[in-house]
Structure 1
Amino acid sequence: MAVIVVTGTGTEIGKTVATAAMAAAALREGRSVAVLKPAQTGVNADEPGDAAEVARLAGPVTAVELARFPEPLAPATAARRAGLAPVKPQDVAEAAGKLAAEHDLVLVEGAGGLLVRFDDDGGTLADAAGLLGAPVLIVAPAGLGTLNSTALTAEALRGRGLECAGVVVGSWPYDPDLAARCNLADLPEAAGAPLLGAIPQGAGSLRPADFRAGAGSWLVPALGGSWDPDAFAARMRSGHRPGGGGTAVR
């Protein structure tokens, strides 16, 4: 998978940290990585955005932003209010294609969910993924309510003929409740795709060296890691707190 599009079931659920973990695992394998943020919103010109945060955590990636809008709104709305040109799906596809020609892996991190509008024509991250022919990875919360939002996102992908690569839990809690533990089995069914990882709560606050050392233990081998979803789920069913792969951070 030269290009992976990373979306979420909503905002503030761990997309950037999950993207950083995938980048770190790929770098550890000796692969070259680029991270593309099509539209960064809610960040001033002198502040680091999501792509820069991925680089801080993961290491030497090529970090690219196509546009930045100061207000924390959907990209189309933020661009309109700022009086700036919006990002269009074709812009995203062209930028990702150029990066893929020079890197082993390109991670395209969306803003919010799959169908958040980039422009006033209704262009979305899903449209960009379609132009790229790239699989889409869903980052989802661990707890109650995640099954519906994950199923809706996966259904939207299937309706557009797009591949769902799988699901990564964006923040696995230190003390998972019953819903979170059950969702380890239920999320793959809701998505119709495998569970590919669980990022521990607080991972984004780790020192970069510790983040890079741990990233592989949070992701399955297909993403460059060593995480075993069946073994992890069995530990959670037994009532154990996460240990080894998926260690939560306080």
Structure 2
Amino acid sequence: MAGFFITGTDTDVGKTIVTGLISAALNKRGTNTIPYKPVQSGSFFRENQLYAPDVDTYEKMNNKAFPQSSTYLLEAPVSPHLAARWDTVTVKEDKIYTDYLHLSNACDCILVEGAGGVAVPIIDENYCVSDLMKDLKLPVIVVARAGLGTINHTTLTVHYIRQLGLPITGIIMNGFENSEKQAQQENVNMIEKMTNVPVIGQLPFVQKIEQFLDNEELILSLIEQINIEFLIKMWREQTNERSKQLG
């Protein structure tokens, strides 16, 4: 049960793209990796069946199907607790954990993508993304914006995760633009100094990236902007540690 929990400083910060890129990179290197979105709000209908847009992204980027990579599909593009209320769906944490165990036992590495940021409620105010993170006990990758405001948002997110007692593997920053290169690089430098967490990826801004998810050349170029070898090293350390615990 080795893997990573991928959270963000906010919604629409790039968690799904990062999850897809890391899963594609690890699968290309022979590490059987499954991305998992426990609760998906904003689901859409395809052939009279609800489908998870984030899982659709994973599948396009991996050129591979992940039929069990979501537990709860909710229609409204709002916070999961509200989408579940509107859909009259009862979200149960034990069901999420059961599905997580099933998937993690079927792969070498599992990537769990949260909903929004760390404090987003999944069921109610008593069960948020932070509670799911504590239940799964996976090392965390934080996805942050490259631009203005990111120092504050990223530092607060890192402090929150540390209060949960979870290790943070690294930060991946998304949306770098050449016109803002100097200021955005200073954001990277300051975040590393203030959090003592390495920035392990710097992804460029890509206009309407959803239209290019099956472009292998683009996907490979984006993967190159993430320190995948570092992630593999951290995954191997997890695997070895868990083997020792079981042995």
TM-score normalized by the length of structure 1: 0.82
Unaligned runs of 5+ in 1: 226-250
Which residue of the partner structure matches residue 23 of structure 1? 23
Q: Counterpart amino acid of 1:54? A: Y
The share of aligned pairs that are identical, in percent, is 26
Q: Is structure 2 residue 147 aligned with structure 1 residue 143?
A: yes
Which residue of 218, 221, 224 corresponds with 1:217?
224
Q: 1:79 and 1:38, CA in 2 relative to 1: closer, same or farther beyond 3 A?
A: same
Q: Distance in 1 between matches of 2:87 and 2:52?
A: 19
Would the aligned equivalents of 2:79 and 2:120 in 1 still touch at CA under 8 Å? yes
d(CA) in 1 for partners of 2:36 and 2:111? 6
Partner of 1:8: 8
CA–CA distance in 2 between the matches of 1:87 and 1:175? 46
Residue by residue over 1:25-71, the C-alpha shift from the partner in whole angstroms, topping out at 9 and shown as x without a partner, is: 10111111111111111222325510111110133263511111111
1:177, distance to aligned residue in structure 2 (A): 4.2
Cα deviation, residue 208, structure 1: 3.0
Taking structure 1 as reference, are residues 190 and 77 closer, same or farther at Cα in structure 2, changes over 3 Å only? Answer: farther
More helix by share: 2
TM-score normalised by structure 2 residue count: 0.83
Q: How does 1:85-104 map to 2 (within 5 A)?
A: 85-88=90-93, 90-104=94-108
C-alpha distance after superposition, 1:210-248 (max 9, x if no partner):
2342243111121359xxxxxxxxxxxxxxxxxxxxxxx
Shift of 1:84: 1.1
Aligned residues: 224
Amino acid paired to 2:102: K
Query: Secondary structure at the residue paired with 1:175?
Result: helix
2:88 corresponds to 1:83: yes
Could you tell me whether the CA contact under 8 Å between 2:40 and 2:52 is conserved in 1?
no
Q: In the aligned structure 2, how far is the partner of 1:48 from the partner of 1:68?
A: 6
Pairwise CA distance, 1:92: 3.0
Amino acid of the residue matched to residue 71 of structure 1? Answer: A
Kindly provide the amino acid, as one letter, of the partner of residue 221 in structure 2. Answer: G
